[in-house]
Structure 1
């Protein structure tokens, strides 16, 4: 992988050339659920997988980035069972084939990995392929898919502005690029009317049958249950296993997307999916592992890779909901890269956290120096201190903790790369 540039260079020319040499495997896929969005696209991918597997369908899944190991990006569907991460040897052979086909020509790492996706998913039979966009949509390497069973657009907010634009309507236009003329579109919850307007007008222009959260389908909590409703009826379901009220809308979008893709979705499938869904590194609680020895006894430790202001808001809301159920002092351990908006992220936690500890991201040239990140936290109205490692931060929390208080709640986040480091150091990589 080191032979190829790691930066973003948005274009479909290189991936199209490479796939042509490989025999165009992207045209030999099972029905594709193609998912884009600033936030929530990973969660809706996880819900789609859980729904399909609950119905006995086999579903390939492509996500990015990986947290610990490269092969996490590829889950191979198993008929009647749980899909499995691709075997290391199979992954390595697919990478070799793609590299040989590329013959040393200029290409990005993500384009190589996307070509690997299409090889793996075209050569292993399955009922569906759920493919998450990497960046944007219009020029993302996954957007060579011309006939998706359904395109799904999740919440859009500001992120990756140098590549996608500095207004939500510009970013929405890039995400809308995965819509294909005449093919169904599911539009998830949108906070910004400007984004929703762009998505709906694009779907109308392309004659895409569209269903929109809040208009054509919806979900809400009632008496500790999730109530889902669309034009086909109403379902009374358990709350999703994934924490946070924002997951209600994500679950709803997945249900509607799987239906739009042509699959039968029963209430039994929905019930099973809500209870079985998993999505590592997103409001994931660490209940075991090596890092826990550094934390105060009885501490709740949560990790979440959300890294933009919109993600900060939903994560902070989840922390506030936890606080309503059981009050604990909240501490934040954060590392971020320099393409993000740390002040915007931190502002969501104003009034919630006792203190922020800022740490480096191992091996990242783009990380924000912990001292500078601490200053950003101060600018957002938070008390912050730079630390060398997550372990050191956990030890520091022990030192500042009020001995009369309940054991703390600790959130580690701000970057998927930091979350990957934590899962690796903790000895609990995704499986």
Structure 2
């Protein structure tokens, strides 16, 4: 994909506007008003928030709707390699990443409307999404929240077809609060008076109480995982159950038991939004939905060539303790089916709980190579990260890059040894860099 024009537009914006987040709806609302409030002229929207799993839920939701033959726009963030990944535009036969010329033109129009006023780049890019989705025909929009919910720039949708809250746990404490119930209250900000709400699997009872109480106070039809719907694996199939009965469908192609809960939230969301999905469409969606950078098995590529012969490389951008738990559980399942020594190549940024993330892999990972995250100013030094991994009980050493870690493994591997399984993770920035370097960016 040619990405030069849109990237130039965004790089210019970054020289004009501050990096990071400034949670408020005032600036984006002012900008959208100048653009004619495109968010009010989009198709019905399914709005998805949460700490973990919201990207996977969005992918399942889009796959179910498209399997129904519907035209679907999708907004997700952040991207891994190219900014274009944030916008999928509806098309016959399945949505496509926005083309460079269309994205560049939309960014230029939004920037012109903003006229240099104070704003964040994420707010401009959210407005770009609303503009694109209002000007291209579709049946439904799947909209993933960026950060939090209440003051996230996407939270200008007045009446979503359904609001979805995926698992809430500790992350972004500097912006959202230092207790899980405070973070849940911010996520619950996307719940709107009388609009359907789907609450996904919640690891913390305190978060579930906040979400359920908010939905009840606002008079919302509410569907709660474990109470109103749930899913489990049985005989190599997925069983989904809600008040309408049972569905026996294919297991999700995405790796990890947690994907059953993510998929079930997507099914519940599509139903709550009134799209009445057929069972055969849901079954097909389970086998086609994918979400790059989350328990993704790395295909052939430049980095794969540096690894020991026969090695498996998995990438996952999960970067908080909650993500660490579900990733380690997924790897433990792989170990049961196909035993291999497990190694980790990790890079993280300084706003994340590094020790909490590493603790989830105690007793599972044989050795950790820590690397810098080259594309983030907030990268934790590889020496410091190795200390954090060691403090969590893991054997760890710093190396200069992912490529060097793979070559170290290869040079120390014997041909008679069982080929290793390697997890590269701890940061979406790192995973994006790995997919780019391997020559396998998301499409």
Q: TM-score, normalised by structure 2?
A: 0.96
C-alpha deviation, 1:78, in angstroms = 1.5
Q: Distance in 2 between matches of 1:161 and 1:210?
A: 27
Q: Is the 8 A contact 1:218 1:230 kept in 2?
A: yes
Q: Is the 8 A contact 2:369 2:398 kept in 1?
A: yes
The question of 1:347 aligning with 2:359 is answered yes
Point out 4+ residue stretches in structure 1 off by more than 6 angstroms.
none
Task: Name the SS of the counterpart of 2:303 in structure 1.
Answer: helix
Q: Distance in 2 between matches of 1:29 and 1:368?
A: 41
Deviation track 1:320-365 (CA, whole Å, cap 9, x = no partner) reads: 0000001100000011111000000000000011110111112311
The question of 1:56 aligning with 2:76 is answered no
Task: Name the SS of the counterpart of 2:109 in structure 1.
Answer: helix
Q: Distance in 2 between matches of 1:402 and 1:332?
A: 19
Residue in 2 that maps onto 1:41: 54
C-alpha deviation, 1:284, in angstroms = 0.5
The Cα RMSD (Å) is 0.8
Aligned length: 430
Task: Name the SS of the counterpart of 2:154 in structure 1.
Answer: helix
The question of 1:90 aligning with 2:132 is answered no
Q: TM-score, normalised by structure 1?
A: 0.99
Q: Which runs of 5+ in 1 are unaligned?
A: none
Deviation track 1:16-72 (CA, whole Å, cap 9, x = no partner) reads: 000011110010010100000000000000000000011100110000000000111
Q: How does 1:24-423 map to 2 (within 5 A)?
A: 24-79=37-92, 81-401=93-413, 403-423=415-435
Q: Distance in 2 between matches of 1:276 and 1:403?
A: 36
Q: Distance in 1 between matches of 2:226 and 2:120?
A: 38
Deviation track 1:352-379 (CA, whole Å, cap 9, x = no partner) reads: 1111011111231101011100000001
Task: Name the SS of the counterpart of 2:46 in structure 1.
Answer: strand
Residue in structure 1 matching 2:25, options 12, 29, 32: 12
Q: Distance in 1 between matches of 2:290 and 2:146?
A: 20
Q: Distance in 2 between matches of 1:290 and 1:365?
A: 26
Q: Distance in 2 between matches of 1:405 and 1:230?
A: 47
The worse-fitting range, judged by mean Cα deviation, of 327-336 and 399-408 is 399-408
Q: Is the 8 A contact 1:359 1:389 kept in 2?
A: yes
Task: Name the SS of the counterpart of 1:191 in structure 2.
Answer: coil
Q: Is the 8 A contact 1:29 1:118 kept in 2?
A: yes
Q: Is the 8 A contact 2:348 2:379 kept in 1?
A: yes
Deviation track 1:277-320 (CA, whole Å, cap 9, x = no partner) reads: 01111100012111111100000000000000000000000000
Q: Is the 8 A contact 1:328 1:405 kept in 2?
A: no
Q: Distance in 1 between matches of 2:131 and 2:79?
A: 18
Q: Distance in 2 between matches of 1:32 and 1:107?
A: 24
Deviation track 1:48-106 (CA, whole Å, cap 9, x = no partner) reads: 00000111001100000000001110000114x11000000000000000100111111
Q: Is the 8 A contact 2:368 2:395 kept in 1?
A: yes
Q: Is the 8 A contact 2:342 2:421 kept in 1?
A: yes
C-alpha deviation, 1:132, in angstroms = 0.2
Q: Which runs of 5+ in 2 are unaligned?
A: 1-12
C-alpha deviation, 1:405, in angstroms = 2.6
Q: Is the 8 A contact 2:299 2:440 kept in 1?
A: no
Q: Distance in 2 between matches of 1:250 and 1:68?
A: 24
Deviation track 1:168-216 (CA, whole Å, cap 9, x = no partner) reads: 1000000000000000000000011000000000001000110000000
Q: Is the 8 A contact 2:354 2:388 kept in 1?
A: yes
Q: Distance in 2 between matches of 1:214 and 1:313?
A: 19
Deviation track 1:117-148 (CA, whole Å, cap 9, x = no partner) reads: 00000000101000000000000000011110
Q: Distance in 2 between matches of 1:75 and 1:6?
A: 24
C-alpha deviation, 1:403, in angstroms = 4.8
Task: Name the SS of the counterpart of 2:246 in structure 1.
Answer: strand
Q: Is the 8 A contact 1:72 1:430 kept in 2?
A: yes
Q: Distance in 2 between matches of 1:380 and 1:73?
A: 34
Q: Is the 8 A contact 1:149 1:184 kept in 2?
A: yes
